[in-house]
Structure 1
Amino acid sequence: MAVDMSLEQLKNYMGSSPRPADFDEYWARGLAELDQQSLEYELVPAEFHSPVAQCYHLYFTGIGGARIHCKLVQPTDAALHPAGPGLVMFHGYACDSGDWFDKIGYAAHGFTVLAMDCRGQGGWSEDALTVKGSTIRGHFIRGIDDPDPDKLYFRNVFLDTVQTARILMSLEGVDPERIAAHGLSQGGALTVACAALEPRVKIAVPVYPFLSDYKQASQLDPTNSAYEELVYYFRFFDPHHQREDEIFGKLGYIDIQNLAPRIQADVLWVTGLADIICPPSTQFAAYNKITSPKEMLLYHEYGHEYLPALSDRTLQKLMQLNL
């Protein structure tokens, strides 16, 4: 039950949005800037307590001086055992890093979990970015009118995911060779970006990822999808689409389908074929470009919603880090 293409078409679809000619240089420059960032962090004990895990608020300084907040959950007895696996978690659009409870199960299985709040969204992370032009609504348009493509909002968020993973790797009790990334929707996109930009990530489980193949998304009833801010942007600032090529070209820097070929991790990609929020074709555009070991878990009659047994399947995949 595919909402935009047949399954056979999806398996061969390689996207329609452009890849900027200087894409590799763009991200090399971003990573070089990130290399100058300190991995120092501040820990604040959480008000939430569990007999199986230690819970902390972790703060670090990200690109542009923004103060980034994460939830850190560690196995209580981690210090008594050899270094264990680590998991970075990313949340959905305009949400936050979630409850402590949904990370406790991973800690009970030996994982140290670091869940990042995206800057300027529903959590406690700051957005220190100053850009020219208007955002209208939503985040992926933020910075699109600034002459400097380094001012794109998601450029900084993608780099935050890498810094989060690197901090996790540096923690006592964490084996830096056993790191995984996981998230849904926007969190799925950030999982892809993190695995693409930090090659030490070993397993990635993105679930119906956002932020892919913007041009294709704009042609699939975007007012009813996560890509609606494209509609508002063109309505208010370019109703004749005279700048269409420029806009989609700049969005190409933060399009996960262009980052996907860099992934070296083992990928379990989860997609609902009835997804109208992040249409399947936009997801397959990225998935089909992954060259590392990968598997697509399809939910044929499901959309952008609760997927039965997904948490169990995710844990089974992540436990491969213990093999």
Structure 2
Amino acid sequence: MEPRNQTSVSEFLLFALTEDPEQRSLLFLLFLSIYMITVFGNMLIVVPVGSDPHLHTPMYFFLANLSFTDIFFSTTTIPKLLVDLQGEKQSITYTGCLTQVCFLLLFTVLDNFLLAAMAYDRYVAICHPLRYTVIMNPRLCGLLTLLSLFISTGDALLHSLMVLRLSFCTDRKIPYFFCEVIQVLKIACSDTLINTIFIYLAATVLGGIPLFGIIFSYVQIASSIMKMPSTSGKYKAFSTCGSHLSVVFLFYGTAFGAYITAAFTHSSKKTAVIPMMYTMITPMMNPFIYSLRNKDMKGALRKFVRSTTSFQ
């Protein structure tokens, strides 16, 4: 008979990045800086998009939602890590762990769908420019965002409820600095077959469909760009996709790289550090990619800064 101890589980132990007090202080400052840059950088996209009428377009509407998602995504993990670096023991309560699992899944899936919606927006803008305003109307943009949020929330709640039914024994060590659903399943002492099947099924469907949509959109975009007669037209069309493509490669590249590397490495420290790439670096870099590569965004930022300083 398998041992069950679910009711007595009060906390899980997280991976300690270092035990050296000096290194912990340096890491605290590093991760605090990353978090502040992430929040401030993404807010510098959200606020100008909301305040500048010239940016009230589908592309920037999805971009603002992506920035909001990145802020919440980082908030799910980094503040808890900062608290742990200041404490004696790296641990998280049972309720806190389930909450992290739920929100991490929610924002990861939501990121997937928002990137796919942005790719579709670029596809319509380049391949069907005369019908762009008709197809990408505010109602469709709002519907795509709400549908993405609904699917992401449903997926996160289902996974969390399925973790809730599991029992845990004496091994409560999670080799990450946060609660990741697959790592939580590994330390459960009850049968996790259904959970594992559901995780990979959901990952295939909810990750594969948006990725396929992005690939399909850019195949069509590339085909349309190649048919353009002028070089300047090709460059202008491609430049409108450059920022989004950079974010797509960063998001999927870091996520796939993290899981592939984790599957082939046996170092506990490497296993713990690798997830930082997609939980910290990607949300931090997104606003830099869009603000540095986009003339409209740079113009809106300058206008916003001037209006703020003149108001003061």
TM-score by length of 2: 0.30
Q: Work out which structure has the larger RCO, using CA pairs closer than 8 Å and 6 or more positions apart in sequence.
A: 2
Point out the structure with the larger strand share: 1
User: 1 or 2, which has the higher helix percentage?
Assistant: 2
TM-score computed with the length of structure 1 as normaliser = 0.29
